[in-house]
């Protein structure tokens, strides 16, 4: 079999002392890679580039692997090209600079079915999906782990900002928030199971974004100054409403804006232009601010109310995933987060049957969060990720939606 991870001499920085503080074991992990191979997911951005660099510095033989997920057809790449051909070219250049082999895999069909189609269908149904989470769940980690193992790699590394504490002697692996709160991505990683957590590495978890860029500059990586990718890569410079409308023109049909008690107070231009919790841009003049409570797709009505009416008292969630894999019969207290980098709210979780993977969350504070069906909800204990699920129903002060 070909030795896929044979590499050339690792490029060194002009001044190693300038970044030596970032290459210690407490920052990037132990130098334990001798004789081991790692597949690094290469998105074409600076985070994955530095991940490949760091794993080489730790002694691993590195294989760079790019997933081509979405290739926009417009000439100027209006949609963010973080997952298309330009990104693949950037990833290839980075691998050439570092001195590691590079492979590209076309996953556009899987991405279209599990991420783009679900995104459009969920918004058309008045729900609020998280495409990055679905990409991690159904595309990236499922296929990358499988391919890394087929290549005989000892582990898979990605540029996500999160931390894993590996259990020893049969103890559970644990997932934690990243050191950099501004870049933490643990919210979209809660679906990782014990097998995946034991195989994956997040070497950027103890670094900040400025430190990552400092490493990229020091080693002369070609993507050191590449701008941040947009969260919804396939939407690009358009609004999500325009993107969904292109696929589902029916979502732009005008309808009534009604209060929680059914009074008509205005007209909307299509439910797709609104989200639960929205306060600005609703399109009505009033003495007090209104918040969107519900997108009623059956009646094509936009339901609005007071801030207090929008707050959730309880959530019903499905497709529950527990990081530890152990289904608890006893309710447990935790911090609940209902949006990416959202503010934690204290809550009590009661799990249903492990067969139906449902749960009910009751908020134990005076004010609950504003939540929407379709959103991911994640359980935390301090910085540790306990698990999460998808909101199917919201019990609000003013209405159940």
Same domain, 259 and 340: no
CATH number at 301 reads 2.30.30.280
Place of tokens 């309710």: 331
| Residue 233 appears among annotated catalytic residues | yes
pLDDT of residue 400: 47
pLDDT of residue 261: 85
Among residues 282, 308, 334, the one where a domain terminates is 308
β-pair type (359-363, 102-106): unpaired
Instruction: Give this prediction's pTM.
Output: 0.91
How far apart, in whole angstroms, are the C-alpha atoms of residue 41 and residue 399? 44
Instruction: Show the tokens assigned to 292.
Output: 């969107």
Q: Please give the residue range of the domain that contains residue 69.
A: 16-159+203-218
Same domain, 137 and 154: yes
Flag whether 66 is in a domain.
yes
How far apart, in whole angstroms, are the C-alpha atoms of residue 3 and residue 11? 21
Flag whether 278 is in a domain.
yes
Please say whether the beta carbons of 395 and 294 come within 8 A. no
Same domain, 338 and 292: no
DSSP 373: T
pLDDT of residue 7: 46
Residue 96 neighbours by CB distance under 10 Å: 14
pLDDT < 70 stretches in the chain: 1-11, 72-83, 230-231, 397-401
Residue 206 neighbours by CB distance under 10 Å: 19
Residue 315 neighbours by CB distance under 10 Å: 26
Same domain, 113 and 28: yes
Please say whether the beta carbons of 204 and 185 come within 8 A. no
Same domain, 62 and 111: yes
β-pair type (155-157, 200-201): parallel
Same domain, 96 and 210: yes
Among residues 293, 308, 323, the one where a domain terminates is 308
DSSP E strand stretches across 94-251: 102-106, 155-157, 162-165, 174-177, 200-201
Whole-angstrom CA distances from 71 to 66, 74, 82, 115, 246 are 13, 9, 9, 14, 17
Among residues 173, 193, 218, the one where a domain terminates is 218
How far apart, in whole angstroms, are the C-alpha atoms of residue 377 and residue 317? 8
Return the HEC string of 250-276: HHHCCEEEEECCCCEEEEECCHHHCCC
Flag whether 127 is in a domain.
yes
Same domain, 209 and 318: no
pLDDT of residue 315: 97
Flag whether 240 is in a domain.
no
| Residue 135 appears among annotated catalytic residues | yes
Same domain, 58 and 128: yes
Please say whether the beta carbons of 331 and 350 come within 8 A. yes
Same domain, 317 and 282: no
Instruction: Show the tokens assigned to 169.
Output: 């002697």
Flag whether 27 is in a domain.
yes
Please say whether the beta carbons of 334 and 349 come within 8 A. yes
Determine the 3-state secondary structure of 31 from DSSP. coil
pLDDT of residue 74: 57
Flag whether 189 is in a domain.
no
Domain count, the chain: 3
Which residues, other chains included, contact 82 with Cβ-Cβ below 8 Å and sequence gap of 6+? 43, 44, 45, 229, 230, 233
Flag whether 8 is in a domain.
no
Of 95, 132, 155, 233, the active-site residue reads: 233
CATH number at 372 reads 2.40.30.10
Measured in whole angstroms, the distance separating CA 396 from the mean position of its chain's CA atoms is 26
Same domain, 33 and 152: yes
Of 82, 135, 155, 334, the active-site residue reads: 135
Same domain, 123 and 214: yes
Over residues 127-143, the pLDDT tens digits come to 999 998 999 998 889 89
CATH number at 140 reads 3.40.50.620
Q: With 0-12 CB in 10 A as exposed, 13-18 as middle and 19+ as buried, what is 112?
A: middle
Please say whether the beta carbons of 49 and 216 come within 8 A. yes
Which residues, other chains included, contact 279 with Cβ-Cβ below 8 Å and sequence gap of 6+? 289, 290, 291, 292
Which residues, other chains included, contact 284 with Cβ-Cβ below 8 Å and sequence gap of 6+? 257, 265, 266, 290, 304
Residue 291 neighbours by CB distance under 10 Å: 20
CA nearest neighbour of 162 among 139, 142, 179? 179
Flag whether 333 is in a domain.
yes
Same domain, 25 and 137: yes
């Amino acid at each position: 079999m070909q030795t896929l991870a044979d590499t050339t001499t690792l490029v060194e920085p002009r001044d190693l002392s300038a970044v030596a503080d970032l290459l210690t074991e407490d920052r990037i992990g132990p130098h334990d890679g001798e004789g081991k191979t790692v597949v690094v997911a290469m998105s074409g951005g600076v985070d994955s580039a530095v991940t490949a660099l760091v794993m080489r510095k730790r002694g691993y033989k590195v294989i760079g692997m790019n997933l081509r997920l979405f290739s926009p057809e417009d000439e100027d790449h209006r949609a963010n090209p973080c997952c298309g051909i330009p990104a693949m070219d950037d990833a290839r250049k980075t691998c050439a600079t570092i001195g590691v082999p590079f492979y590209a895999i076309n996953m556009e069909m899987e991405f279209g079915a599990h991420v783009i189609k679900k995104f459009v269908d969920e918004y058309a149904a008045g729900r609020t999906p998280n495409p990055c989470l679905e990409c991690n769940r159904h595309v990236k980690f499922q296929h990358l782990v499988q391919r890394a193992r087929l290549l005989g790699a000892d582990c898979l590394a990605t540029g996500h900002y999160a931390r894993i504490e590996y259990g020893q002697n049969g103890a559970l692996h644990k997932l934690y928030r990243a050191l950099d709160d501004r870049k933490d991505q643990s919210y979209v990683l809660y679906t990782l199971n014990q097998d995946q957590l034991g195989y994956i590495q997040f070497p950027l978890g103890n670094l900040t974004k400025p430190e990552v860029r400092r490493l990229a500059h020091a080693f002369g990586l070609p993507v050191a100054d590449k701008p941040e990718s947009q969260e919804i890569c396939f939407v690009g410079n358009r609004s999500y409403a325009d993107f969904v409308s292109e696929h589902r023109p029916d979502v732009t049909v005008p309808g009534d804006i009604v209060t929680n008690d059914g009074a008509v107070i205005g007209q909307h231009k299509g439910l797709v232009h609104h989200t639960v919790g929205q306060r600005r841009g609703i399109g009505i003049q009033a003495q007090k601010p209104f918040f969107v409570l519900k997108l009623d797709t059956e009646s094509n009505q936009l339901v609005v109310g007071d801030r207090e009416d929008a707050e959730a008292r309880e959530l019903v969630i499905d497709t529950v995933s527990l990081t530890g894999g152990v289904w608890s019969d006893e309710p447990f207290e935790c911090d609940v987060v209902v949006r990416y980098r959202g503010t934690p709210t204290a809550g009590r979780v009661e799990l249903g049957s492990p067969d139906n993977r449902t749960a009910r969350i009751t908020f134990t504070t005076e004010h609950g969060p504003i939540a929407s069906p379709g959103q991911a909800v994640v359980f935390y204990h301090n910085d540790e990720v306990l698990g999460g699920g998808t909101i199917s129903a919201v019990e609000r002060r003013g209405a159940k939606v």
